[in-house]
Amino acid sequence: MSLTLYSHPLASFCHKVLIALYENGTPFRAEMVDLGDPGSAAAHIERWPVGKMPVLFDAAAKRVIPETSIIIEYLQDHYPGPVTLLPADPEARLQARLWDRFFDLYVNVPVGKIVTDRIRPEGQSDPYGVAEARRLLDTAYGMIEGQMSAHRWASGDDFTLADCAAAPALFYASIVQPFGDTQHHLARYLEQLLERPSVQRVIAEARPYFSMFPYREAMPARFLNG
């Protein structure tokens, strides 16, 4: 098998790439990275020195491909499947890339700030940073609500790269900062994402690790029980 994905089943950015792989039924081998294990961490740093996950290795091309959006574009170019995640039309592709970056930067990143702050050593928490992250999430929620009032999927009528980014970002965001009572389009969009078989598979694979999630007590029972 040519493709190996180095990732962790609890990590939202890893979920983004897994969704893309499952959407197209792309054959690959999954290898879990445990940054708490010195050997696993050292091997991962060697393949991508900044240590971020996921990373894709293409043995046929002898190439390491990092960064989620780049991995998904690489897969479309070199291992295409029935679902086109980056549209051929330039304007549609631009919108898909825009909303992909939006969900990564303005939903996933602040969620990561909120979650990781909970496991910081005693006396080293960052309440101001967490408050800033929550304010950014509120702004993002309002913008997504407006976008989804006029679209079926994040950037238009079709499921794209942007929706691969949105699914894990909103899954975790809805746990650490629930949507507002009037954000019906945002809530509908998340439910639509959760109905996607690729997303359901990712959540099912992550479920055995949810006990490690710092906000596990806030997780709805339906996510914990399947």
Number of other CB atoms surrounding residue 123 within 10 Å: 5
Q: Extract the tokens encoding 214.
A: 């710092």
pLDDT tens-place string over residues 153-203: 999 999 999 999 999 999 999 999 999 999 999 999 999 999 999 999 999
The pTM for the full model equals 0.96
CB 190 within 8 A of CB 125: no
- Structurally, at CATH architecture level, domain 90-196 sits in Up-down Bundle (1.20)
Question: Which residues fall within 8 angstroms of residue 112, CB to CB, at 6 or more apart?
Answer: 12
pLDDT class for 225, splitting at 50, 70, 90?
confident
Judge whether residue 136 has pLDDT over 90: yes
Give burial (CB, 10 Å; 0-12/13-18/19+) of 117: middle
Judge whether residue 226 has pLDDT over 80: no
Strand partners, 55: 6, 66
Amino acid 74: pLDDT: 98
% the chain with pLDDT above 90: 94
Amino acid 57: pLDDT: 97
Judge whether residue 35 has pLDDT over 90: no
pLDDT tens-place string over residues 90-99: 999 999 999 9
Output the 3-class SS for the chain.
CCEEEEECCCCHHHHHHHHHHHHCCCCCEEEECCCCCHHHHHHHHHHCCCCCCCEEEECCCCEEEECHHHHHHHHHHHCCCCCCCCCCCHHHHHHHHHHHHHHHHHHHHHHHHHHHHHCCCCCCCCHHHHHHHHHHHHHHHHHHHHHHCCCCECCECCCCHHHHHHHHHHHHHHHHCCCCCCCHHHHHHHHHHHCCHHHHHHHHHHHHHHHHCCCHHHCCHHHHHC
Q: How far apart are CA 62 and CA 226, in angstroms?
A: 38
Number of other CB atoms surrounding residue 55 within 10 Å: 24
